[in-house]
Structure 1
Amino acid sequence: MELRHLRYFVAVAEEGSLTVAAQKRLHTAQPSLSRQIHDLELELGVQLLIRGPRGIDLTAAGRVFLDHARVALLQVEAASEAARRAAQPARTSFAIGFLTGYEMDWLPAVMGILRAELPSTEVVIHSQDSPDLAAGLIRGKIDLAFLRPEKQAPGLKFRLLRKDPLIVLMPRDHALTARNSIRPQDIAGETFISVSPLRAPTAWTAIDDYIKRVGIALKPDHQAENLAMAISLVASTGGVCLLPLYAQNLLPETVVSRPIQGAQPMVDLVIGYNEANTSPLLKFLLSKVDELKFRVSKAE
């Protein structure tokens, strides 16, 4: 088995199509890609993909193998990045990642601490989805990140910052805006916009668990790949969406939010870092986590 087999398999699994993966991700011929996947399945002795008229689905073995393949590829990238860093002079920059939208709450507090203590440090900011932030930490491209506690994240440590409730987003002219808070049964039957289980696995799990707990039937009509897409779909389809509270930071005038009645579903916001990272600045910031939380709570 070669690394290219893992890259090819991950691309096909994530795109859900041999043709799309071949053309957009791998820039290779589709028949060649099919042969590579077939060779991989023969070597493993199991079927990984089910090929159907609507695209590609993963078998149970394929879903398990996908998690391990992603981790293996991340570890190879991390090793390469570590080797490149070792051959270069010590850097004077520090990369901080934010789950898109959270920088509005946490970046001022971080910069306040850094300006006061280490004014000569160049701070690089990344705004991404949580899985991408975790990958950046693993690869050594991000030093510290505000994200979700990702499960497939070898070598990473997480420290809880706070728990955020999920809220209901809807168009400003939606009938439910007449309510101060939304009951679970209120959203049953509405056009429902789901988050992506790949791009927002923690939020997706929290929403799925909540739907099962309250016993409502919600079948997603649309799936949003990121926060901006979710807000856009709410505005354009007239549907509703469940998102963490921080989404309020990015709402246009055409979209409003309401809290959920009763026991609200929650998602964790954590600060994450790679335990192999020996940066003195990382150690310094980790010692200031309590101050960070105080600064943010004071500003709210």
Structure 2
Amino acid sequence: MGSLELRHLRYFVAVAETGSLTEAAARRLHTSQPSLSRQIRDLEHQVGVDLLSRSVRGVELTEAGRVFLAHARAIVMQVEASVEAARRAAQPMRRTFTVGFLTGLEPTWLPQAMEALQDRLPNIQVVVSSDYSPNLADALTRGRMDVAFMRAEPAYPLEYVVVEREPLIVLMPRDHRLATVDAVSPRELIGETFIGGSNKAGVLQAVTEDYLRRRGIDAAVDHGVDNMAMAMSLVASTRGLALMPAYALGLLPQSVVSRPLEGPTPTIEVVMGYSRANTSPVLKLFLRRLSAVEPSNSG
């Protein structure tokens, strides 16, 4: 039996993330299922414990497998980041600087981002990307992105600089009964169709749940949303209320209005995320310039 190799880790991560040997083999790894099963058995033999339990529903991680996955994923990401860094170093004349945005934050932060890079634009190509925060964190960790305006994702080994604390506001249909009030009491959320963050919007979900718990409000989330467009659509279609960050103000359709919360208002942080392993001088300059900048339409 050979030693533990990087491909074993890649295969294991793919199986763990898809929950299926068949799907991982066909869609992620482009290999045969028997070959993949053999590689996983080799890995378990090397580690000395069962990492997966097999059932009619597919495969599930054992407790040992859950622990192993966190380390395996970090190793794979670090190797990919090293490869990306080497490729960038080998192409000094074609330098790119990739900036990511949590979808919806572009109108607020893209102008400042471009202004901070203005004197470097003749020498670099700026690439702009929008995605969910966990996907941005993944890209930063793997070395595929330089910096991102996002939510802090504690599951990833990244550095974060807080650039803004956005208050949460209440979104509602334009003709909702609460549209006549100046500020919404949190107790008004009880009994209404309530829209909040999904697991993909984990930071928003956590801030909302903490706020409701501290105010003694038992308002279960009826619909969990991943992004602001989904929130707007559900507010309009279900005639429900949504607790969303204030950047929603720049995105409201005519059918949706907003009101502030009454009393102490919960806030959610906008951060610049980056990897400490990224030694780009452009990144250092960018962080220094942006750390002292106010958002362009924070009110």
TM-score by length of 2: 0.80
Bigger Rg over Cα: 2
Cα contact 1:196–1:204 (8 A) shared by 2: yes
Distance 2:209 2:54 in 1: 25
Residue 141 of structure 1: aligned partner: 144
Residue 246 of structure 2: aligned partner: 245
Distance 1:19 1:271 in 2: 37
What is the CA deviation profile of residues 245-267 of structure 1, one whole-angstrom value per residue up to 9, with x for unaligned ones?
Answer: 11222221111111111111111
Q: Does 1:4 align with 2:11?
A: yes
Q: Does 1:128 align with 2:135?
A: no
Distance 1:20 1:171 in 2: 45
**For 1:3-42, what aligned pairs fall within 5 Å after superposition?**
3-12=10-19, 18=20, 26=28
Distance 2:133 2:282 in 1: 22
**For 1:99-110, what aligned pairs fall within 5 Å after superposition?**
99-110=102-113
Check 1:178–1:58 CA distance in 2 against 1; reply closer, same or farther (3 A cut). farther
Residue 219 of structure 1: aligned partner: 220
Q: Greater shift after overlay, 43-52 or 99-108? A: 43-52
Check 1:11–1:68 CA distance in 2 against 1; reply closer, same or farther (3 A cut). farther
Distance 1:49 1:174 in 2: 50
Residue 262 of structure 2: aligned partner: 261
Check 1:258–1:24 CA distance in 2 against 1; reply closer, same or farther (3 A cut). farther
Distance 2:221 2:36 in 1: 31
Distance 1:200 1:46 in 2: 29
Corresponding letter in the other structure for 1:167: I
Residue aligned with 1:153, SS: coil
Residue 15 of structure 1: aligned partner: none
1:288 shift after superposition: 1.0
Check 1:67–1:87 CA distance in 2 against 1; reply closer, same or farther (3 A cut). same
Superposed CA RMSD: 3.4
Distance 1:212 1:20 in 2: 42
Corresponding letter in the other structure for 2:192: E
Distance 1:229 1:20 in 2: 32
Distance 1:133 1:76 in 2: 18
Check 1:241–1:72 CA distance in 2 against 1; reply closer, same or farther (3 A cut). farther
For structure 2, the 5+ residue unaligned runs are 1-7
Distance 1:49 1:188 in 2: 43
Residue aligned with 2:11, SS: helix
- How many residue pairs get matched? 288
Residue aligned with 1:140, SS: coil
TM-score by length of 1: 0.80
Q: Does 1:81 align with 2:84?
A: yes
Check 1:93–1:28 CA distance in 2 against 1; reply closer, same or farther (3 A cut). closer
Residue 182 of structure 2: aligned partner: 180
Cα contact 1:11–1:21 (8 A) shared by 2: yes
